[in-house]
Structure 1
């Protein structure tokens, strides 16, 4: 329940966070959001009832929601066309390492001293880091006044309500926007589906213990970390749409082939390393492509839109494939995640289209 509260707030405020990033500056917003997130955790640690714990977690989710739209927008604005892919790759590797280390570090503190202390340590660390971040990003780019883009909504005519909304967030009404949204939504839908059920699927297919099966998930994330850095650099040198299309197809094929992999534990765990490399290859390329389409005055809004779709994919993916697994069994449902790659390829196709 508390995880749902956090991610609900996290998903709901991605778009407003991107909108604010274009107006108050990404670095300022990240600093503020990190402080709010930390204070929410500290507040939850002092809560005397479940309701107040949930309120603290909600505040923490609100603070955390600003990071991805503002952070990736900041990378997009300060990096050059020839380095932004590598920077996105490094950024995503850091995120994967955080996913691996945070449960061990904060969970370890909680195991030794109690969950309240664990939350306080995490919250205080966040507030302290916000101060360090504020100092080190004082020269970061500041919000830029809006400039006209080649879209009818920027002509000054009243237009439709839809056009006025898109003008307000400085994004044109365009098929490429829908394409980027579909690509990021499909990536997260696919990735969270694979990640959420990796351990259970390994247990079903190989009869491993749950502890050993967790190794499959660890190898999946390790493979993802390696390929994320590699393909970030490739995105600076090769056509990004071609890379996205090819790697989504490769990931889809490998997810489907998982059903044919022998059930020997070592082979299965090793296969998940390869699968992680294929699935995560598209992440830095998609983010670099978003950066390519963004302008400095609208990068926060664009990343806010796309990250909202990504957050929805993270919520829908586990629920969708979990429901399918209940009806067909995990052995059938898990390889079916490959179908999502078709949605991603459609997103790549739409991204090529002109503004309408």
Structure 2
């Protein structure tokens, strides 16, 4: 009997679609846990500060700085691994370490121990972006924006669950155990991440970058991305968008302290308010990601200008407007992330996507991550004025301006796309 070519084609297409669905769901789940750990502590700062007796408030917010520094530092080297080995293993093992470090943090009694646990958790988290970005770009060519937008839903869910769950769980047990109530949600979220990492290693499809990358050698033209001029442009582009990241991190930490100190909101109320930033992104990430596949930089500029304006006006708002504005801000601001990732992967040579993504995350993330510590220090130095809303205006105005300035990175992307695409044609 002869097989029907049409049936074979349908079977192959169906197999590819199932693989793509498993990849999107699995990577989206990891994306959720990666970002749960980035925001779960934000409503808990005051509890952690009291329980660990960590000195000044900037010491407490430094815990996030320590975690995120460890998260960004290994990015380039993880990206190099992602260009050579099964990314499924990198992603699964990374979440195991990330969750275990976070769970261990809930059991420490000293500030030094807390910092060490945050560093371990951050190192595990560093496995995600370089490996996942290269993996998605390889499996969804010409559809990068849409794919990154869909995976971005996972980040939205993580950002949403993190502050809501930690704020609710800590408030629920505060009357029984006092300031130590922050430990319960931290332990539970850490253990959940370990379980999710094991499930991903078991169920996710293998991803071997070697089969997607073109032949390369020391003399291959694609190595041109390492030339000094192109390297400098890549670094400057990453630095430009690190200003956006600084604002993103800053809105979490500064917003949390602002709502609790100036508005007198509880931990639970603050956690719920911060979650507003991420609810709308479940829609905006895939929508703007898909739209950006046709006019990427126009959409990117639009969402960031709107976000910058909203950040600047945030401390002027009455209490009743805070949650709706946080929702609108997040709807536009977070949608910029899949567009930037898609632009970077559109430009990057296939064989170096992991390293280029890792370098971009390393440079941009280290600068952006300073927001937790700098803004914690800023609030600490407000002294008695920390209860006045007007005292925060200069900080929020600075953050809003940084978002708009970050758009200068578009010129860098245009240059990189021109150089790297011309190099591939050669």
TM-score normalised by structure 1 residue count: 0.78
Corresponding residue to 1:280 among 334, 342, 349:
334
**Distance of 1:256 and 1:7 partners within structure 2:** 25
1:266 equivalent in alignment to 2:320: yes
**Equivalent pair of 1:22/1:301 in contact (CA under 8 Å):** yes
Alpha-carbon distance change, 119 to 293 in structure 1, aligned in 2, over 3 angstroms: same
**Cα offset, 1:44, TM superposition:** 5.7
Query: Unpaired segments of 5 or more residues in structure 1?
Result: 156-162
**Equivalent pair of 2:164/2:271 in contact (CA under 8 Å):** no
**Cα offset, 1:208, TM superposition:** 5.7
**Cα offset, 1:330, TM superposition:** 0.5
1:297 equivalent in alignment to 2:351: yes
1:131 equivalent in alignment to 2:198: yes
Alpha-carbon distance change, 339 to 105 in structure 1, aligned in 2, over 3 angstroms: closer
Alpha-carbon distance change, 122 to 329 in structure 1, aligned in 2, over 3 angstroms: closer
* Deviations, residues 25-69 of structure 1 (Å, cap 9, x unaligned): 322211222233344456667778765565444333222211111
- The match for 1:251 is 307
**Distance of 1:91 and 1:49 partners within structure 2:** 37
**Distance of 2:393 and 2:299 partners within structure 1:** 30
- The match for 2:400 is 338
* Deviations, residues 175-212 of structure 1 (Å, cap 9, x unaligned): 6523541343122112122222224445677x463454
Q: Which moved more, 1:131-140 or 1:73-82?
A: 131-140
1:307 equivalent in alignment to 2:354: no
1:352 equivalent in alignment to 2:414: yes
**Cα offset, 1:301, TM superposition:** 0.6
Corresponding residue to 1:87 among 142, 147, 151:
147
**Equivalent pair of 1:321/1:334 in contact (CA under 8 Å):** no
1:191 equivalent in alignment to 2:248: yes
* Deviations, residues 117-151 of structure 1 (Å, cap 9, x unaligned): 76665454434323322233333233347626999
**Distance of 1:129 and 1:242 partners within structure 2:** 37
**Cα offset, 1:218, TM superposition:** 2.6
**Equivalent pair of 2:233/2:412 in contact (CA under 8 Å):** yes
- The match for 1:223 is 280
**Distance of 2:149 and 2:160 partners within structure 1:** 17
**Cα offset, 1:223, TM superposition:** 3.3
**Distance of 1:133 and 1:52 partners within structure 2:** 29
Q: Helix, strand or coil: the match of 2:83?
A: helix
**Distance of 1:302 and 1:52 partners within structure 2:** 33
**Cα offset, 1:228, TM superposition:** 2.1
Corresponding residue to 2:223 among 146, 154, 165:
154
Query: Unpaired segments of 5 or more residues in structure 2?
Result: 1-61, 383-389, 421-426
**Distance of 2:378 and 2:109 partners within structure 1:** 39
**Distance of 1:24 and 1:286 partners within structure 2:** 25
TM-score normalised by structure 2 residue count: 0.67
**Equivalent pair of 2:94/2:126 in contact (CA under 8 Å):** yes
**Cα offset, 1:248, TM superposition:** 2.2
**Distance of 1:115 and 1:331 partners within structure 2:** 29
- Which aligned pairs between 1:42-81 and structure 2 lie closer than 5 A? 54-81=115-142
**Cα offset, 1:304, TM superposition:** 0.5
* Deviations, residues 264-295 of structure 1 (Å, cap 9, x unaligned): x2233322222222322311111111121123
Q: Helix, strand or coil: the match of 2:280?
A: helix
**Distance of 1:54 and 1:221 partners within structure 2:** 27
* Deviations, residues 318-337 of structure 1 (Å, cap 9, x unaligned): 34455566579202321221
**Cα offset, 1:78, TM superposition:** 0.9
Higher helix share: 2
- The match for 1:97 is 157
